[in-house]
Amino acid sequence: MFPFLKAAFGAAILSASAAAAAQSDERHLPLWEIGIGAAGISTPAYPGADDRSSRLLALPFILYRGEVLRADQSGIGARLFHSDRVEFDVGLAGALPSDSDDVEVRAGMPDLGTLLEFGPRLKVKIADLDRSTRLRAELPLRAVIEVRGGLRQQGWTFEPRLVYERVGEGGAWTFQGQLSAVVGNERIQRYFYEVAPQYANAARPAYAADAGLMLTRVGVFGTRRINRDLRLFGFLRFESYHGAANRDSPLHLRDTGVSGGVGFAWTWKRSSRRASGTETISPASL
């Protein structure tokens, strides 16, 4: 996933509202939940940018824990296979746009539009370290589609990551740490870092981008339950662009980047049906 003001916000809200499910038996959870979340988020405008994008956002959310169709802390998609150790799904995510007029080095160049990411992901549980702690690997491959005056395919990314999860008693709090690397093909690298001859000037020479490493990153995400319906969350992510394929691009100005945000998720309504059946749930079980 791209580090600039993406649906990290939406994913964070889903994660905050679904966090108690991370290590618990899903049969005790509602089939669906709906609510609203809000957050303040600040990120680099794009990987390697000197400018930042900071926004206050509010969005409704829907959690759905179907056997195949899913909208939960892992994202939105279709779970095609799952066992105790392995899960395979096809998911959808998104990234908010970045206006080139707000990014000094890209002035006069095309805007970075809204991006959709779609593709398969393999998740493998490495170990249950104890009853509340888990280590897993994720291998997502995503097609990147720009939504700006139509739909344009803008390349592919691959982001292998290691995920550490820990959940407090009864889901009162959660903690997640991630270590990952993002690799992109030539087309997505050109989207961020290429300077076509018509956009070149004395301070921004023409540049042809190459495929390869885009970034490595480490991040932490945590939630705290205030009551049955309200959960607070926050995240902090550090990114390194050392070794990136296009560090020589005139659009690549920094070797590191930091993203962060805080917010809340409030559940308005929830299903009386369990995620795996028709039994009703008592309020005490949530």
Average pLDDT of the segment spanning 141-145? 94
Average pLDDT of the segment spanning 186-212? 96
Per the DSSP assignment, residues forming a β-bridge with 140 are: 121
Compare 207 and 23 and report the one with higher pLDDT.
Answer: 207
Asked whether the predicted pLDDT for residue 243 surpasses 50, the reply is yes
* Residue 3 placed within a domain: no
Average pLDDT of the segment spanning 66-88? 81
Highest mean pLDDT among 1-5, 11-15, 141-145, 149-153: 141-145
Type of residue found at 11: A
Average pLDDT of the segment spanning 129-139? 94
Average pLDDT of the segment spanning 96-125? 88
Q: How many domains does the chain have?
A: 1
Compare 75 and 227 and report the one with higher pLDDT.
Answer: 227
From the list 192, 224, 274, 267, the residue with the least C-alpha distance to 3 is 192
Residue 195: which domain range? 8-285
Question: If pLDDT is split at 50, 70 and 90, which confidence band does 20 have?
Answer: very low
* Residue 217 placed within a domain: yes
* Residue 1 placed within a domain: no
Q: What is the CA radius of gyration of the chain?
A: 20
Average pLDDT of the segment spanning 152-172? 92
pLDDT of residue 259: 92
Mention every residue, 6+ apart, whose C-beta is less than 8 A from residue 68.
Answer: 78, 79, 80
Lowest average pLDDT, out of 74-88, 126-140, 186-200, 258-272, goes to 74-88
Question: If pLDDT is split at 50, 70 and 90, which confidence band does 71 have?
Answer: confident
Lowest average pLDDT, out of 28-32, 70-74, 218-222, goes to 70-74
* Residue 176 placed within a domain: yes
Asked whether the predicted pLDDT for residue 4 surpasses 90, the reply is no
Question: If pLDDT is split at 50, 70 and 90, which confidence band does 186 have?
Answer: very high
CA distance 8 to 40: 11
Asked whether the predicted pLDDT for residue 13 surpasses 50, the reply is yes
DSSP state of 27: G
pLDDT of residue 155: 95
CATH code: domain of residue 28: 2.40.160.40
* Residue 93 placed within a domain: yes
* Residue 131 placed within a domain: yes
Residue 94 in tokens:
């998104």
At 189, phi and psi to the nearest 5? -65, -40
Mention every residue, 6+ apart, whose C-beta is less than 8 A from residue 166.
Answer: 132, 133, 134, 174, 175, 176
Asked whether the predicted pLDDT for residue 54 surpasses 90, the reply is no
CA distance 242 to 238: 12
pLDDT of residue 285: 32
Query: At which residue do the structure tokens 């339950």 appear?
Result: 225
Q: How far is CA 6 from CA 60, 88, 178, 227, 257, in A?
A: 16, 23, 17, 28, 15
* Residue 2 placed within a domain: no
Compare 170 and 247 and report the one with higher pLDDT.
Answer: 247
* Residue 122 placed within a domain: yes
pLDDT of residue 2: 54
From the list 35, 38, 44, the residue with the least C-alpha distance to 3 is 44
CA distance 47 to 53: 12
pLDDT of residue 202: 92
Pairing status of strand 151-158 against strand 256-270: unpaired
CA distance 188 to 103: 19
Cβ pair 272, 283 in contact under 8 A = no
Q: What percent of the chain has pLDDT over 70?
A: 85
Residue 7 in tokens:
């649906």
Compare 73 and 218 and report the one with higher pLDDT.
Answer: 218
- Mean pLDDT of all residues belonging to the chain: 85
Average pLDDT of the segment spanning 180-184? 97
